[in-house]
Structure 1
Amino acid sequence: MVSTLIFFLDFIKSLPIIEKHSKKVNSGFSIVVGVILGITYGAGILIAEYEKGILQKREILFIGTYLMICHAIIEDTLLFLIFGANLWVIIGLRFTFATIIAYLVVKYYRLT
């Protein structure tokens, strides 16, 4: 599955319109895959992009922190919905806290 996702990412990056914004696509794709499918798939893409030297340590820290808090949004939310939780509260809080905490970690953590 990870190999398919990496192939798909490389295909998307080869499109002319995407080449202009490739930095945003690299980090964004890891976050989207991790949030939707789970941390394992998001991390697989993140590792592949890091090994290619495309992402910086600061971006890896942000994406990793974000995915620790907000991963597998579909699976986890469905589990909580079974027990009567509110869909929008769960999704909203996870996205909000993930964004704030990841931003604060990157802002206050110095990478050497």
Structure 2
Amino acid sequence: MDLKDQLKNLFPDHQFEEPVAEEKPDIWLQDDPILCKYEKRKGKPVTIIDGYSGATEDFKKLAKEIKTKLSVGGSFKDEKIIIQGDYRDKIMELLKDKGFKVKRVGG
């Protein structure tokens, strides 16, 4: 017996409303591949994602999603996502799961 059944037993006259699922707007998928680069800045490894031609807000959402899924730090600067550490393989897998074409650059 779940919570909904228990509430129906306690309040038989009450009409329960089904929650309406909100549709999440998908990120615009482009035809050109997104570039996933590896660099060292001040001796520390960083992964740079570049080449997205959609809206800046979509790219910022993508940056936030990548950072939360990988539990890493990073930023969004100059139309690029900069992730701290070498996470090329994991990021490429995440982007491919979302439907993007990804190209690995360097190394």
TM-score, normalised on structure 1? 0.27
Structure with greater helix percent: 1
Determine which structure has greater relative contact order: mean sequence separation of CA pairs < 8 Å that are 6+ residues apart, divided by chain length. Answer: 2
TM-score, normalised on structure 2? 0.28
